């Protein structure tokens, strides 16, 4: 575990990598959400769940305060890039949904961190994904004539599947980095 009194190089590197991963996932998702696969799904559904993986790994290792730092930095950088590269409405909807969903994810993960290694990331990702989907699709596409309700339903289905699937990389990252699933005290 990291000693917060001495925030030396490793935690900064870890948080910096998390910020870059967050920014890349948000940016890719905002571009890919504009590319439908069919009438009920866009490509963004497959990349966006990675943001919850990044948040949960950061929260597990460094605590909720550092996880919020990653979310805020990812929010600013990811949304700024998305507004430039994607439609402004998608950028605005993405930012709103991202911020609400990620902060709820951090809160719930922290409340469940003392449970089994898989409970906190799964429950927080499921709730975060549900909030994100409802906010994003309604803000980005309501009134456009696009099939946003079916896209949202398909998106949520994939996000829920991805939440379960990303438990394996979550656990492997914990093992690779030598992290224990034992709880970190709340910050």
pLDDT for res 90:
78
pLDDT for res 185:
52
pLDDT for res 7:
41
Q: How many CA atoms lie within 13 A of 21 on its CB side?
A: 18
Tell me the per-residue pLDDT of 134-183, one tens digit each, with 9 for 90 and over: 999 899 889 999 888 988 999 999 999 999 999 999 999 888 877 665 55
Whether residue 146 lies inside any domain: the answer is: yes
Q: Which residue has the tokens 């998390």?
A: 18
pLDDT for res 158:
94
Distance CA 64, CA 175 (A): 20
Whether the CB-CB separation of 175 and 59 falls below 8 Å is answered with: no
pLDDT for res 1:
44
Q: Within the chain, which residues score under 50 in pLDDT?
A: 1-10
Whether residue 187 lies inside any domain: the answer is: no
Domain holding 130, by residue range, is 4-176
Whether residue 72 lies inside any domain: the answer is: yes
Whether residue 185 lies inside any domain: the answer is: no
pLDDT for res 11:
62
Whether residue 181 lies inside any domain: the answer is: no
Distance CA 66, CA 11 (A): 9
- The CATH number of residue 99's host domain is 1.10.1760
Distance CA 108, CA 105 (A): 5
pLDDT for res 31:
81
Whether residue 184 lies inside any domain: the answer is: no
Whether residue 183 lies inside any domain: the answer is: no
Q: How far apart are the first and last CA of the chain?
A: 13
Number of domains present in the structure of the chain = 1
**Nearest partner of 29 among 49, 15, 55, judged by Cα:** 49
User: What SS3 class is residue 95?
Assistant: helix
pLDDT for res 86:
67
């Amino acid at each position: 575990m990291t000693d917060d009194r001495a925030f030396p190089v490793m935690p900064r590197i870890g948080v910096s990598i998390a910020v870059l991963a967050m920014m890349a996932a948000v940016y890719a998702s905002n571009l890919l959400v504009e590319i439908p696969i069919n009438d009920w799904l866009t490509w963004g559904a497959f990349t966006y769940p990675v943001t919850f993986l990044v948040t949960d790994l950061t929260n597990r290792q460094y605590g909720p305060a550092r996880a919020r730092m990653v979310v805020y930095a990812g929010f600013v950088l990811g949304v700024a890039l998305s507004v430039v590269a994607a439609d402004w409405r998608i950028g605005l909807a993405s930012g709103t949904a991202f911020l609400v969903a990620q902060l709820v994810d951090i809160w719930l993960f922290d409340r469940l961190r003392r449970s089994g290694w898989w409970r906190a990331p799964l429950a927080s990702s499921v709730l975060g994904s549900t909030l994100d989907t409802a906010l994003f699709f309604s803000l980005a596409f309501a009134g456009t004539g696009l099939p946003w309700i079916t896209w949202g339903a398909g998106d949520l289905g994939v996000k829920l599947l991805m939440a379960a699937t990303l438990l394996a990389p979550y656990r492997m990252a914990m093992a690779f980095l030598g992290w224990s699933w034992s709880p970190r005290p709340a910050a």
